Amino acid sequence: MKIFNIQPIKVTKYIFNEEHLDKIATDFGYEVGFGYGGTKTESLNTLVITFGILFYAGKGKESLLSYDTIDDNHYQYSIVTENSDDNLLLSYDSSCQFNFESEGLEADVLSITEFLGTYYAHTEKFFQLYGFKTLPEIEEKIGVGRRLELSAVSAIDSLRANNMYEF
């Protein structure tokens, strides 16, 4: 993928509630991910990328979603944990965009993966500058990997859904 007219990454939200930091030793919740959207203006294709993190400290409110009987002595439960601003440790949102020209699926996945690696490094640098643990330390603790290639495929799927990708 030929990537050009790259706009700077903009941090659109950052909240850090240090008073909740001690609660992550007992329990926590974590959501992280890239989001994608596309626009076409005249002959230019634009990919918009967002990245967000929600990190909750302490125990959220658990609710039973469903209860199924598998057999006489076995049951299956689906439980969801709802977190609120009362236990929000960190909230972070950022975005950027660039124009692109497709060069084939394999090349495009590689280009987007490399771009996401740079984006992710920018995010890590932001957290290092503002005194919070780096993302790899958090992700190691909770067992989440970066999965940038999978995210690149997701970006292409988003472009396909908007009729902006032909391969």
What are the residue boundaries of the structural domains of the chain, listed by start? 2-161
The amino acid at 16: F
Q: Is the predicted pLDDT of residue 128 greater than 70, yes or no?
A: yes
How large is the C-alpha radius of gyration of the chain?
A: 19
Q: Is the predicted pLDDT of residue 142 greater than 60, yes or no?
A: no
Average pLDDT over residues 142-152: 72
Per-residue three-class SS string for the chain:
CEEECCCCCEEEEEEECHHHHHHHHCCEEEEEEEEEEEEEECCEEEEEEEEEEEEEECCCEEEEEEEEEEECCEEEEEEEEECCHHHEEEEEEEEEEEEEECCCHHHHHHHHHHHHHHHHHHHHHHHHHCCCCCHHHHHHHHCCCCCHHHHHHHHHHHHHHCCCCCC
Q: Is the predicted pLDDT of residue 20 greater than 80, yes or no?
A: no
The whole-number pLDDT of residue 137 equals 63
Tell me: the pLDDT tens digits for 47-62?
A: 999 999 888 886 656 6
CATH of the structural domain 2-161, one choice from 3.40.50, 1.10.3470, 1.10.1040, 3.10.420: 3.10.420
Rounded percentage of the chain residues whose pLDDT exceeds 90: 42
pLDDT category of residue 68 using cuts at 50, 70 and 90: confident
* In contact, 127 and 11? CB cutoff 8 Å: no
Instruction: List alpha helices for the chain, DSSP H.
Output: 105-129, 135-142, 148-161
Cα distances from 123 to residues 6, 25, 100, 116, in angstroms, run 16, 24, 22, 10
